[in-house]
Amino acid sequence: MNRVLPLTEQSVTISAGIYAELRKTGKPLDDIDLLIAGVAIANNRVLVTHNRSHFERIDRLEVEDWSEEQTAGR
Protein backbone atom coordinates (compact mmCIF):
# COMPACT_ATOMS: atom_id res chain seq x y z
CA MET A 1 0.00 0.00 0.00
CA ASN A 2 1.42 3.37 -1.02
CA ARG A 3 0.51 6.40 1.01
CA VAL A 4 2.02 9.67 2.09
CA LEU A 5 2.95 9.69 5.76
CA PRO A 6 1.99 12.86 7.63
CA LEU A 7 4.27 15.32 9.33
CA THR A 8 3.25 15.12 12.98
CA GLU A 9 4.34 16.67 16.25
CA GLN A 10 6.16 13.41 17.05
CA SER A 11 8.05 13.37 13.75
CA VAL A 12 9.02 17.04 14.13
CA THR A 13 10.30 16.36 17.65
CA ILE A 14 12.37 13.45 16.33
CA SER A 15 13.68 15.66 13.50
CA ALA A 16 14.72 18.32 16.02
CA GLY A 17 16.63 15.71 18.02
CA ILE A 18 18.41 14.52 14.89
CA TYR A 19 19.29 18.13 14.03
CA ALA A 20 20.81 18.66 17.48
CA GLU A 21 22.83 15.42 17.28
CA LEU A 22 24.19 16.13 13.80
CA ARG A 23 24.95 19.76 14.57
CA LYS A 24 27.26 18.61 17.37
CA THR A 25 29.21 16.55 14.83
CA GLY A 26 29.46 19.50 12.44
CA LYS A 27 27.62 17.56 9.73
CA PRO A 28 24.04 18.85 9.68
CA LEU A 29 21.46 17.87 7.06
CA ASP A 30 19.13 20.05 5.04
CA ASP A 31 15.83 20.76 6.80
CA ILE A 32 13.80 18.66 4.36
CA ASP A 33 16.07 15.64 4.88
CA LEU A 34 15.68 16.00 8.65
CA LEU A 35 11.90 16.02 8.29
CA ILE A 36 11.91 13.01 5.96
CA ALA A 37 14.04 11.07 8.45
CA GLY A 38 11.82 12.11 11.35
CA VAL A 39 8.69 10.90 9.57
CA ALA A 40 10.31 7.56 8.73
CA ILE A 41 11.48 6.99 12.30
CA ALA A 42 8.15 8.08 13.84
CA ASN A 43 6.34 5.57 11.64
CA ASN A 44 8.87 2.74 12.05
CA ARG A 45 9.56 2.71 8.31
CA VAL A 46 12.59 2.00 6.18
CA LEU A 47 13.70 5.04 4.19
CA VAL A 48 14.27 4.10 0.56
CA THR A 49 16.57 6.56 -1.18
CA HIS A 50 19.39 6.69 -3.69
CA ASN A 51 21.07 9.29 -1.47
CA ARG A 52 22.24 6.97 1.30
CA SER A 53 25.21 9.14 2.30
CA HIS A 54 22.94 11.86 3.70
CA PHE A 55 20.81 9.56 5.78
CA GLU A 56 23.26 6.92 7.01
CA ARG A 57 24.54 9.38 9.62
CA ILE A 58 21.26 8.97 11.52
CA ASP A 59 21.62 6.10 13.99
CA ARG A 60 17.95 5.22 14.47
CA LEU A 61 17.10 5.26 10.76
CA GLU A 62 17.10 2.18 8.54
CA VAL A 63 18.07 3.15 4.98
CA GLU A 64 17.88 1.11 1.76
CA ASP A 65 18.77 1.92 -1.83
CA TRP A 66 16.65 -0.26 -4.09
CA SER A 67 18.48 0.91 -7.21
CA GLU A 68 21.55 -1.00 -5.96
CA GLU A 69 19.50 -4.21 -5.77
CA GLN A 70 18.27 -3.77 -9.33
CA THR A 71 21.80 -3.16 -10.60
CA ALA A 72 23.15 -6.20 -8.73
CA GLY A 73 20.45 -8.42 -10.22
CA ARG A 74 21.32 -7.63 -13.84
- Note the pLDDT tens digit of each residue in 24-33: 999 999 999 9
The DSSP symbol for 51 reads: -
Amino acid at the residue 43: N
pLDDT in tens, 13-24: 999 999 999 999
pTM for this model (two decimals): 0.85
Instruction: Find, among 38, 64, 60, 40, the residue nearest to 50 by Cα.
Output: 64
Ordered per-residue pLDDT tens for the chain, 74 residues: 678 999 999 999 999 999 999 999 999 999 999 999 999 999 999 999 999 988 999 999 999 999 976 655 55
Q: Which fold has domain 9-72?
A: Rossmann fold (3.40.50)
Amino acid at the residue 64: E
From residue 51, give the alpha-carbon distance in Å to each of 1, 9, 10: 23, 25, 24
